[in-house]
Structure 1
Amino acid sequence: MRSMGGSQHDEIERKYDVEAGTVFPNLAEVEGVAHVGQPEELDLEAVYFDTADLDLARHGVTLRRRTGGHDAGWHLKLPRVSDTRTEVHEPLGDAGEQVPDALVAPIRAMVRDRPLQPVVRLATARREYALHDAAGGVIATVCDDQVRAERLDGTGGPGSRDSLVQSWREWELELDQGVEALLDVVEEQLLAAGAAPAASGSKLLRALGDLPPAEPPGSEHAPTGSARALFSAHLAEHTAKLHRQDSAVRAGRPEGIHKLRIAGRRLRSALATWRPQLDGAATEPVRDELRWLGEQLAPARDAQVLREHLAEVLSDQPAELVVGSVAARIDDELGAAYLAGRDRAVEALDGDRYLRLLDALDRLIESPPLTSGSEEAAEQVVKGLLRRDAKRLRRAVRDIDAAGEPGERDVAFHEARKKAKRLRYAGEMARPVLGKKARSLAASAKKVQEALGVHQDSVVARERLRELGMQAHLGGENAFTFGRLHGVEEARAVRAEADFDRAWKRLRRKHLNHWLG
């Protein structure tokens, strides 16, 4: 993937700590390696940039300007997933120590409007060995690095300036054209020679020393003795997910908008569930801003879902019943709607309003505004919150029965869906303290939510099909197939209502009678 003169790729590598006198092994003996190229000597210098509070490092992100070697330029490495890290490159340019805008965008949620400054300089004397297969292709490279690290932010510790400078040796194994299983085979040889898996995930982290992670453990593993601890851990977990999906949206990953929207919904739902325990003056404005964020993401995601669904439904229709350019009209209209929605979403993420929302979430996590019961046992508080959300769902389902006109029923179904989703999320939030009971409640509420979600999707699909059919008619095309698809969606709604009835009866019988008495 290329943009603005730069490039992006996934880097699969492993690092090893090694003593100064350790002899580099003969890797030509490794299975799958035909021969090892002559070592290439490289002198590399990299200056790493971060905020004064090292926000990037605490998120597992590195941003550097490197000179020397084959890949001189600006490098942004995003958080590691297993052995893989996504790395974004930009050319050195003429801007000196001015970080390129293309590299600031993916990390905006982490740094916001805080300035980036040099924090570490690394000088590396590298011996690089290329591992070749029988055809001569490079399947992996192994680097033997002598590293000198200097802190530039003046926080290397007490004592003389020497405390700001460190030196060490490490080996780095990076996959090229080989298969990932090769890493295990080469690693065996490196460990046998005296190496050990690196204690730090990067040279930068070794230079910086121990840092508190920006992302706390998930609520499943966080301390949950008090209501305050559970609430804070839950907000922190989903705020961290919000940050990760922010980067995915900016990188253009198709699933990013959907997952970012879910993270925002979960945060908003948590604030709604905990409302009886919270200072509304502090939390209601945040709920409003999370709702605004969802509204900015909705057009792209709704168009994406509808486009995929209608394409699938259309492909199931008999060829003789597909009249006119139905597929092209659906694809063109909804494809354009998705692109416009994605531009709107990215514009929102670049705006000050979104950055201030992230600041507000940080404050809620650091100092949860619970007004009552904050130090009570989480178990007792959560039971009361679940009971409240269960009552709200029960009232919403009764409103469906009371609705008269079809339009009113559609609205009532949609409201019940939102209440089922809140109960589901609340049950998932309660799992660390209520265990199996909460997990089972959440699973049953999810079934209700999913059935009602299909119903709502059919409502949206029918509205859009009517619009598309009218456009086709006014354009002189035969709109027969759009009418047929509208009928398919009506049948889908009927099935969804039947699925909802079954799921609701099971939830009421199995859980609500227990929770509500």
Structure 2
Amino acid sequence: MGIEIEDKFDVSPEYVVPDLSGLADVVGPKGYQLVALYFDTPDLRLAARGVTLRRRRGGSDAGWHLKLPKAKGVRQEITHPLTRSTKIVPAELAELVRAYTRGAELKVVAELETRRNVTVLRDGETGLVEIADDRVKGTVYGEDVRIVRWREVEAELLDGGDQALLAKVGKRLRKAGATPSEATSKLAKLLEPAPLPKAPTKPGTAGETVIDYLASQVAALLSQDPRVRRAEDDAVHQMRVASRRLRSALKAFKTVVTGTGSLQEELQWLGAVLGEARDLEVIRARFGRELAGLAPELVTGPIQVRLGTDLHKREEEAYERIKDALSGDRYYTLLNSLDALVAAPNLGKAAAKPAEERLSAIAAANWDRVTKAYDTAQAVEEPERREIAMHDVRKAAKRARYTAEALQPTLGKNMAKLAKLAEGIQEILGAHQDGVVAQETLAKEAESARQAGEDTFTYGLLIGIERNAAERAHDEFPGVWAKTVEAVRKVL
């Protein structure tokens, strides 16, 4: 797996790659003949989402390549060794695009034959930037075969280079007549997938703002699917956040997009599926940091195994359950429902109203939910029941935060401030809750250790650390709450 950082340029057939000496040592050009077969569903579901799946022979990186959508300027590429079959996609790669294909057949939709001349900028033996000058013949397969020819230049950052050098290369290429390409890939020049359907909404309306936000979160959820299947770092968390944001938005904007109750339930199910592994991941890392901070003589018994290896094993088992869920009909039905939500939602009367007028009121109403939840909690006399009620305050704060973040592009700085204030309430209540949960987990693990005849001294130390953290957050909360309420008054 790799991360691509590259710039693509369109050039004329007569274009001359400029002299790049002075930037670094220049090696090349060296010629290659490349042939790539591109796979997609008959209706081009991968291309529509910015996903590329190909089998390429020739050059220095022959094999199968899966390129995932670009995020923050880079594309993730997953590779697989070349197989004999030119018609069957390796099962490992087919699995990673199931959220996009949803059972549809993968077949060859295009072929690219490329005459490539490669120049490499080096520092001694270290590659810095690779410049590929490509003359391309593209063939599109379908009811009618179509052939297209063009020339392009790519400048790709290698492991030893930096973005400043890549920028200098791009400047010289442009000065020689190259123009930045609007196409994200060679395949994008060939194929013309139908645009993803999206509900027609009037500019400046609440409906437009909400549908745009929902579409962005559906895309975010889908982009994490292959990463979750590979158990990549933070992927489960990001996918869980996307599902939570979607569910929160459907609740908050129920007068704009109506009739989403069953979809909210399915998003809650997905969040719960993802939550088990994520919670284990977080608490295992938490205990690892705490143990690392103790003096060696205070760490007794096989506690590192119980709080490290054993929890990690449970985490891996939870990942398997996630993979099973992501391969089931219920999940694909949910994805289809999300696509339908963006393409043809049930829009309420509020959707046609001006965004600023209607959505500002919704943001204020969601903050009111936080204050009402707080007042309700404070009216509870019994401590344990009050703690449960304060958890509702945290959930309300999270929803207020997500709502404000969704509205920030439309309503501006005030929503950014409100989101930050709501996040502060969410975080301090979360710190208290996390400390309580950690104590409960440690108590259970300590009991298991005790029954196995192990020394439980260190469990007691960790429980003390967690109790102090929870109590500190509890004691600080009233002051944070008072300051937040005052700040929110100025924003709303």
- TM-score after normalising by structure 1: 0.87
- Is 1:73 matched with 2:76? no
SS in 1 for 2:83: coil
Task: Tell which deviates more after alignment, 18-27 or 56-65.
Answer: 18-27
1:423 to 400, 419, 424: 400
Distance 2:220 2:422 in 1: 23
Distance 2:297 2:24 in 1: 55
Match of 2:165 in 1: 182
Per-residue deviation, 1:125? 2.0
- After superposition, residues 10-25 of structure 1 pair within 5 angstroms as 10-25=3-18
Q: Deviations over 1:56-80 (max 9, x none)?
A: 2232221112233333332211223
Change (3 A) 1:437 1:137: closer
- Is 1:301 matched with 2:278? yes
Per-residue deviation, 1:337? 2.2
- Is 1:270 matched with 2:249? yes
Task: Tell which deviates more after alignment, 333-342 or 16-25.
Answer: 16-25
- Is 1:151 matched with 2:137? no
Give 5+ residue unaligned stretches, structure 1.
Answer: 1-7, 156-160, 217-221
Match of 2:154 in 1: 172
- After superposition, residues 68-467 of structure 1 pair within 5 angstroms as 68-81=58-71, 84-134=74-124, 136-154=125-143, 164-180=146-162, 181-208=164-191, 212=195, 225-280=204-259, 283-467=260-444
Q: Deviations over 1:140-184 (max 9, x none)?
A: 4333222111221347xxxxx6xx221112223334453124323
Per-residue deviation, 1:513? 9.3
Distance 1:410 1:378 in 2: 37
- After superposition, residues 51-70 of structure 1 pair within 5 angstroms as 51-70=41-60
State the AA in 2 paired with 1:191: R
Per-residue deviation, 1:81? 4.2
SS in 2 for 1:168: strand
Per-residue deviation, 1:469? 0.9
Contact residue 119 and residue 132 of structure 2 kept, 8 A? yes
State the AA in 2 paired with 1:423: A
Change (3 A) 1:400 1:333: farther
Distance 2:57 2:295 in 1: 61
State the AA in 2 paired with 1:197: P
Contact residue 140 and residue 147 of structure 2 kept, 8 A? yes
State the AA in 1 paired with 2:3: D
Contact residue 149 and residue 167 of structure 1 kept, 8 A? yes
Change (3 A) 1:342 1:215: farther
Q: Deviations over 1:251-298 (max 9, x none)?
A: 322111111111111111111112345433xx1111000010011111
Q: Deviations over 1:381-409 (max 9, x none)?
A: 22442343233322321232233444323
Change (3 A) 1:215 1:107: farther
SS in 2 for 1:42: strand
Give 5+ residue unaligned stretches, structure 2.
Answer: none
Change (3 A) 1:315 1:473: same
Change (3 A) 1:144 1:284: same
Change (3 A) 1:505 1:45: same
State the AA in 1 paired with 2:61: D
Contact residue 228 and residue 368 of structure 1 kept, 8 A? no
Contact residue 367 and residue 400 of structure 2 kept, 8 A? yes
- Is 1:30 matched with 2:22? yes
State the AA in 2 paired with 1:408: R
Distance 1:194 1:378 in 2: 44
Change (3 A) 1:383 1:315: same
Task: Tell which deviates more after alignment, 49-58 or 261-270.
Answer: 49-58
State the AA in 2 paired with 1:31: L
- CA-based RMSD of the aligned residues comes to 2.7
Contact residue 255 and residue 350 of structure 2 kept, 8 A? no
Match of 2:34 in 1: 44
Contact residue 206 and residue 256 of structure 2 kept, 8 A? no
Change (3 A) 1:446 1:43: same
Distance 1:103 1:204 in 2: 18
Distance 2:167 2:198 in 1: 29
Distance 1:23 1:425 in 2: 51
Change (3 A) 1:178 1:487: closer
Per-residue deviation, 1:10? 2.5
Per-residue deviation, 1:360? 0.5
- Is 1:498 matched with 2:487? no
State the AA in 2 paired with 1:395: K
Change (3 A) 1:503 1:71: same
Change (3 A) 1:110 1:214: farther
Contact residue 215 and residue 240 of structure 1 kept, 8 A? no
Contact residue 58 and residue 214 of structure 1 kept, 8 A? no
Distance 1:170 1:144 in 2: 6
- Is 1:487 matched with 2:476? no
Aligned length: 490
Contact residue 44 and residue 66 of structure 1 kept, 8 A? yes
Contact residue 390 and residue 512 of structure 1 kept, 8 A? no
Q: Deviations over 1:222-257 (max 9, x none)?
A: 976222112211211111111122232123221111
Change (3 A) 1:276 1:205: closer
Contact residue 231 and residue 368 of structure 1 kept, 8 A? no
SS in 2 for 1:275: coil
State the AA in 2 paired with 1:86: Q
